[in-house]
Structure 1
């Protein structure tokens, strides 16, 4: 292309040089801009993914930026209208109006406009990759005192992931037939899966019936006051899912989850050992306090070792690092999915996460960033995220201690960003603390109340985008920290 001469000459004048020019294709940039100037419809073929910053030449960035602004405003973008906004620039003996006129004159068709746009975009991504690589090298050579190698790795991972996800040219509208195909595939997978659910089965039948399982890309908030059993319920659900995991190898070598799932568990409060002790107690039937004290009979010890042996191969991964930021959590979750796969992510709990800024005075704003980040991560990874949350103390001041959405602590964004909000409530916890003096009439009444609520828990679904709200009753064994299905009264054997 003749118009390329002035720009290309300055790249090729030196016969030998000690540096490499970053990837670029000036001809493709000129061909695309020429097509847009001739027929503004060419802009809409690339507007979904192409930005001014993707152009290598500064003058081309300005031309594309102003042309796109004019077209979006419903005006015509051609060499005459652009001249008003660009001014006059010397391009090696050619003025800018002359250069635009040459671009338009030499553009023959807009048929290849999208291909030119993809070429420009791909080369821009390569230049950004070079920039990230140079930064990694430079920071590694001269790292600040407060930056650890792990921080640098996670920062590079985050930048690479953002680069991969931003401005992709495979987005935009899709035909309804494609959406129908995906819906039928989901229904077929649900038919084949245990429990006939569209989502991942939690192992708690009544909860699954109301929610349809844990749905991909959903942010599920599990909230409750201390002592209600939030961590126990999250651990039970996570382990139930990992325990029944079954995968099939695809023709391309990748593993596809057929049942259950691979679980990642961020335990910001408890250590991995404490979490493992809970799970062993739940699976073996030996109370966790006995395991901690070593107060066991020989048959208890065999139960523990048998349970541990069965759990060796279960795809359940724990990260016990405390005080990590939402950015670090996202980087580690993406790494787990890439290396081992991921079907469910659990975060225990939101209030122990920090935002990207280490010195944030506004905690509400920080929690908003955390919940928005968790929801975006759930969509990016296409897995459900179960995030635990504390409730405010105002629950304790009410006669009815059942939690509600307004009790969510520190930010309305938790309720706003969540697809499902569940509350764990155990009335037994509150009644037990009100025990009157033994032998009194009040104690007899208290004992009757305790008998009604003993070993029972309630999961209250306060919000659900895809289904009904309501309450589910579960059985709770405190010494094993285990939630199980509660047998309905009409299904119990007859009493004599």
Structure 2
């Protein structure tokens, strides 16, 4: 042990490099002695401790060898392990089999095995923090010239996040009576709420009926081909959620305790705001861009914009944002304003975390979807991620999407708690409008045109939201109203058609 007087006098980084990395060799030896004396001690540490957590390489190898035997239902003691240890030469550098005798004398009692294990694990975490810190410092000095300052921040945060999530935690069973209490509370909340919605509302009645709203920790994929209205539908859901948060705050006479974050990788914040304004003010977005609106419409446009400005809705239009940057911004938002929903438009335009180099595009998308699910769980908010569909949809007669159409990675389907497809038959039918030149007589052309118009009447202003997968409830098709002029989705009321 060094005293205050014999500590190195160097300042700054040089002083740090002269320190010994944290380790607790005595705890390592005491734990190994306890394991060799009574294998039941392994149950106290197996949930969180691994061989690589040991500071002494030989101790780590010995722990791994003991763990293998115990998990295979075999006895692990100096007698049963003698042949394996002698043949492998594992103990040669520490004195051979005599080292086992030293470990046995180091053992205090198996009742303390859990404390020994936690001391070893804590020292390992601190060594990892030192490694991360050294990497951050070296990169800042220019060791990695291809990383900019902001990229280095993201890389450091990503390394810390991986350490925080992968360090291993004490696991244990949850008593069934506690699980039942939690389930009963959720059921009571649904019973007491209007519309029996326990999660955040999507603003769409029939979708909320099937899902119970948007639930914390869920990753929802909203997919479709271009021009189907993915962004418009996601924007509708985000706006409705933000308005519900604001309405609840006003009822209680306070400030909103949550917010909705939209990461728009394809459209600018101004374009997205124009879409929302167009929908709410019922002024065509195309006419807004051309300036083809009257004074009355412009006044309505301004009035609605003032109302919308109060909503807790935030837009980040950083192109090709990385997963680590998104996580950092969402954490900051949750800490400062509260966070209730994240919308990502769309995931194929994202980059994986800085510092990672996926071998293929499929692996890259897999890392992104797993990362989005991790963000949903860590921040306890629903995440809606938009996704493109492959072109194979266009080659089928029935162009309604299926799970196999999800582009570039099957892991999108695996990681998602719900997968929804937006589909508009009107879009495809419009492209099949009969052409006069394709018919040899006007009568045949008229018959074809009448049939086409009849079919168009059936699907005009209608869309389908196909709930193809849902972990927590039923699947099925939800019929929606779609108004192309304002790119607006709403509930479809079929009562008057019956």
Identify the TM-score tier after normalising by the shorter chain: 0.7 to 0.9
**Superposed CA offset, 1:386-443 (max 9, x none):** 2212222333333333222233223333333322221111122222333346994433
Task: Provide the residue aligned with 1:352 in structure 2.
Answer: 349
Runs of 5+ consecutive residues of structure 2 not aligned to the other structure:
9-17, 250-254, 437-441
2:157 matches 1:167: no
Aligned with 1:278 (options 275, 278, 293): 275
2:47 matches 1:68: no
Task: Provide the residue aligned with 1:47 in structure 2.
Answer: 46
- Mapping for residues 82-481 of structure 1, pairs under 5 Å: 82-84=81-83, 85=85, 87-89=90-92, 95-191=95-191, 193-245=193-245, 262-355=259-352, 362-436=360-434, 440-481=446-487
Alignment CA distance shift 1:42-1:328 (3 Å): same
Alignment partners' CA distance in 1, 2:295 and 2:47: 67
**Superposed CA offset, 1:30-78 (max 9, x none):** 3322222221111110110012222233333233222222222322223
Shift of 1:167: 3.4
Task: Provide the residue aligned with 2:492 in structure 1.
Answer: 486
**Superposed CA offset, 1:454-487 (max 9, x none):** 2111111122222222111111121221111112
Alignment partners' CA distance in 2, 1:456 and 1:332: 37
Alignment partners' CA distance in 1, 2:91 and 2:433: 87
Q: Is the 8 A contact 1:219 1:417 kept in 2?
A: yes
Q: Is the 8 A contact 1:221 1:386 kept in 2?
A: yes
Give the 3-state SS of the residue equivalent to 1:16 in structure 2: coil
The number of aligned residues is 470
Shift of 1:198: 3.0
Q: Is the 8 A contact 1:50 1:167 kept in 2?
A: no
Alignment CA distance shift 1:478-1:90 (3 Å): closer
Shift of 1:228: 0.9
Give the 3-state SS of the residue equivalent to 2:398 in structure 1: coil
Give the 3-state SS of the residue equivalent to 1:236 in structure 2: helix
Shift of 1:318: 2.0
Alignment partners' CA distance in 2, 1:240 and 1:295: 28
Shift of 1:355: 4.5
Shift of 1:100: 2.8
Alignment partners' CA distance in 2, 1:78 and 1:13: 40
**Superposed CA offset, 1:217-260 (max 9, x none):** 32222111211101100110011111211688xxxxxx996xxx
Shift of 1:339: 4.4
Alignment CA distance shift 1:441-1:298 (3 Å): same
Task: Provide the residue aligned with 1:36 in structure 2.
Answer: 35
Alignment CA distance shift 1:63-1:385 (3 Å): same
Give the 3-state SS of the residue equivalent to 1:160 in structure 2: helix
Q: Is the 8 A contact 2:256 2:312 kept in 1?
A: no
TM-score between both structures, scaled by the size of structure 2: 0.85
Alignment partners' CA distance in 2, 1:121 and 1:169: 10
Runs of 5+ consecutive residues of structure 1 not aligned to the other structure:
1-10, 249-254
CA RMSD of the aligned region, Å?
A: 3.0
Give the 3-state SS of the residue equivalent to 1:220 in structure 2: strand
Alignment partners' CA distance in 2, 1:23 and 1:482: 59
